[in-house]
Amino acid sequence: MDLEKAGESRMLQLNELDELRLDAYASSVSYKEKTKRWHDARLRDKKEFSPGDKVLDFNLRFKFSPEKLKSRWTGPYEVKKAFLTGYVELIGNGNTFKVNGHRLKLYYDGVEANEYDDITLYPKS
């Protein structure tokens, strides 16, 4: 058994293993970049709220209810302050609390009534 040939063979195997490891690392980095681009392309736009807006809050903890048709939206609450990170400070029932902006949707006080012309389908007799 030649020890020099065995040593060279072992060094070649170690170098090949290092190359495979570097290739795997480069492949994982490119995979993560592609996945991040795909994920970021499908993100919803950030909801923007301004102080004074009225919003409804989605109740995440509401699991089971005897009333099937009970709404999971609570409120309306008034926006006190909106942070750049996406959190919104709300005022409701004399309390102030912070929630994630993804849980909120704008609340409109009044419904605008559309005026329709009176259309008769059958002639009056």
* Domain containing residue 77: CATH number: 2.30.30
User: What does the pLDDT look like over 91-102, one tens digit per residue?
Assistant: 988 889 999 988
Q: In what order do the strands lie in the sheet with 95-100?
A: 95-100, 87-92, 73-82, 54-58, 104-106
User: What does the pLDDT look like over 1-16, one tens digit per residue?
Assistant: 688 899 899 999 999 9
What is the number of structural domains in the chain?
Answer: 2
Does the residue 115 lie in any domain? Answer: no
Sorting pLDDT into bands at 50, 70 and 90, what band is 25? very high
Structure tokens belonging to residue 89: 């400070």
- Domain hosting 74: range is 54-106
Structure confidence at residue 114 (pLDDT): 63
Rounded distance, CA 104 to CA 81, Å?
14
**pTM more than 0.85:** no
Rounded distance, CA 48 to CA 82, Å?
8
66 in the same domain as 36: no
